[in-house]
Amino acid sequence: MIPIHVFEGQTLALFGLGLSGIASARALEAGGARVLAWDDAEDARNAAASLGIEIADLKGVDWSSVAALILAPGVPLTHPEPHWTVKQAQTANVEIIGDTELFFRERDRLRSGARVVAITGTNGKSTTAALIAHVLAEAGLETALGGNIGTAILDLPPLSDTQVYVIEFSSYQIDLTPSLKADAAALINITPDHLDRHGDLENYAAVKARIFSGLLESGSAVIGIDDRHCREIADSLDGPYDVAQVSVKTSVDDGVSVSEGILHQIRGGVEKAVVDLAGIGSLRGEHNAQNAAVAFALGRSLGLELADIEKGLRTFPGLEHRMEEVGQLGKVLFINDSKGTNADAAAHALSSFENIFWIAGGLAKEGGISGLKDHFPRISHAYLIGEAAEDFAHVLQGKAEYSICGTLDRAVVAAAADAAASGSAEPVVLLSPACASFDQFRSFAVRGDAFKSAVARLEGVVLRRGEAA
């Protein structure tokens, strides 16, 4: 835990008692503040109360005595309309911040030499954050990974001068962190997402761009330039810090590019390093090449040697449910990409393989899979599950063979049998649903675990952890 002393002796309101809310309440209380916490869900309030957190209905709070509202990142700040706690705080002229802001204020209070690597983007930010954290740890640095990935930021180890904090930021968290000051910051890409929470794509991009707003003079900005909004942001960066551009579409004069699986670091138009990404199973596909390039640029900006970065890239195990290699049955490889909850994410997975036995379906997102037509030639057969099965079948009709399996268990068995009998040299059974999970599973992680369990039950399969099922 990171105790937060910046509000010592003061009273704060806190709304949202998920992981970050609980961590914030405990950290503030450890630092001598009084926290009045609330959540609209009774179960969440009861769970927090069992931990000794003071529960108070914020509708009845005297806001004149409140120093700040600590808002969970999942709670609407501006769109589609401000949450009721936000309106109350604004009426009382009470500032509204998040747990990540508490972290930076405490670092400033302590004048800590702890370094911060801040990472955001629409897609790939979790993989990139985990990858650079792995690279740093493999190079022998004290590294803590958290924020929007896994561990709440205030549940990370206490601030120390030797620590490097790798923090993944969602757009919601950036909105709640006016004092964001990183030693190195990365913006990977921008595509339409969360527009209901930001109004439009322009506002969303403007929020993402603030990852660089407090970058230290000695710091480094790493930015992907393969989409229009990021290119415009890159062109607007004019701080005293170093800027490294990243592309998997074209070469760059200052930064990192990837072409045909080869990573090139360029400084002032001169090539400084070359890394072959071929054979790194956890970094397959163009999207992971972009993640690797961003991580490489961050590593170099933090002073890592080329050999240390390359070692970290090659030993990266990948993230669970994101292009995760589950196991192999003879020549058939099983890939769990349950995090592929929309067509854009599924496109990354489909573009990474040939001879795909594709398991797709669930609770459909807007647009379905019509945007994946360019990838249909890679699909040997599709196995459709969940509510979207009939709609997906209609889109695939005449373009790719398919079966409506209904459930994930049946799809795994059918796909495994067909892949083994296909005669393909490297057939892949790929779960990348292009759908939310909520029709059959409570989360993409539960769906991914179900896929892995179904694969493990196949006779003769060898799991990636080396055990024969």
CA distance 76 to 300: 37
56: Cα within 13 Å, side-chain hemisphere:
17
**Where a domain ends, among 71, 97, 123?**
97
Q: Which of 67-81, 90-104, 188-202 has the lowest mean pLDDT?
A: 188-202
Between 138 and 284, name the one with better pLDDT: 138
Residue 3: inside a domain:
no
Token readout for 320 is: 């669970």
CA distance 222 to 29: 36
> Do residue 192 and residue 78 come from a single domain?
no
SS3 per residue for 99-158: HHHHHHHHHHHHCCCCEEEEEECCCCHHHHHHHHHHHHHHCCCEEEEEECCCCCHHHCCC
Q: Tell me the average pLDDT of the chain.
A: 94
Q: What is the pLDDT of residue 217?
A: 86
DSSP 193: -
> Do residue 52 and residue 135 come from a single domain?
no
Residue 4: inside a domain:
no
* 435: CATH: 3.90.190.20
Residue 193: inside a domain:
yes
Q: Classify 462 as helix, strand or coil.
A: strand
Tell how strand 402-406 and strand 379-385 pair up: parallel
> Do residue 128 and residue 148 come from a single domain?
yes
**Where a domain ends, among 97, 132, 167?**
97
- Compute the average pLDDT of residues 422-447: 96
Tell how strand 332-336 and strand 402-406 pair up: unpaired
> Do residue 120 and residue 213 come from a single domain?
yes
> Do residue 374 and residue 451 come from a single domain?
yes
Q: Is the dihedral of CA 326, 328, 333, 334 positive or negative?
A: negative
Q: What is the pLDDT of residue 469?
A: 39
pLDDT digits (tens, 9 = 90+) for 212-236: 999 988 899 999 999 999 999 999 9
Between 318 and 107, name the one with better pLDDT: 107
pLDDT exceeds 80 at position 194: no
Cβ atoms 281, 258 nearer than 8 A: no
* 147: CATH: 3.40.1190.10
Q: Classify 11 as helix, strand or coil.
A: strand
Cβ atoms 369, 383 nearer than 8 A: no
Cis peptide bond prior to 427, omega within 30° of 0? no
* 31: CATH: 3.40.50.720
pLDDT digits (tens, 9 = 90+) for 107-120: 999 999 999 999 99
Q: What is the pLDDT of residue 467?
A: 41
What residues contact 462, with CB distance under 8 A and at least 6 apart?
327, 328, 329, 468, 469
> Do residue 118 and residue 263 come from a single domain?
yes
- Compute the average pLDDT of residues 102-108: 98
Q: Which residue range is the domain that position 20 belongs to? A: 11-97
- Compute the average pLDDT of residues 152-174: 96
> Do residue 143 and residue 29 come from a single domain?
no
- Compute the average pLDDT of residues 419-425: 95
Token readout for 312 is: 């970290």
Residue 150: inside a domain:
yes
Q: Which strands sit side by side in the sheet containing 142-147, from one edge to the other?
A: 142-147, 163-168, 115-120, 184-187, 220-224, 242-247, 255-259, 262-267, 270-276
pLDDT exceeds 50 at position 52: yes
Q: How does residue 199 score in pLDDT terms, banded at 50, 70 and 90?
A: confident
Q: What is the pLDDT of residue 390?
A: 97
> Do residue 119 and residue 232 come from a single domain?
yes
> Do residue 16 and residue 145 come from a single domain?
no
Residue 469: inside a domain:
no
Between 464 and 52, name the one with better pLDDT: 52
pLDDT exceeds 80 at position 197: no
> Do residue 189 and residue 269 come from a single domain?
yes
DSSP 58: G
Cβ atoms 304, 297 nearer than 8 A: no
Residue 446: inside a domain:
yes
Residue 381: inside a domain:
yes
> Do residue 162 and residue 227 come from a single domain?
yes
- Compute the average pLDDT of residues 75-92: 94
Q: How does residue 191 score in pLDDT terms, banded at 50, 70 and 90?
A: confident
pLDDT exceeds 50 at position 59: yes
Q: How does residue 466 score in pLDDT terms, banded at 50, 70 and 90?
A: very low
**Where a domain ends, among 315, 347, 375?**
315
Q: Classify 400 as helix, strand or coil.
A: coil
Q: What is the pLDDT of residue 193?
A: 63
Residue 1: inside a domain:
no
Strand-pair partners of 185: 118, 221
> Do residue 114 and residue 69 come from a single domain?
no
Between 361 and 191, name the one with better pLDDT: 361
Total count of domains within the chain:
3
pLDDT exceeds 90 at position 79: no
- DSSP line for 311-342: HHHHH----TTSSEEEEEETTEEEEE-TT--S
Best-predicted range by mean pLDDT among 183-187, 321-325, 347-351?
Answer: 183-187
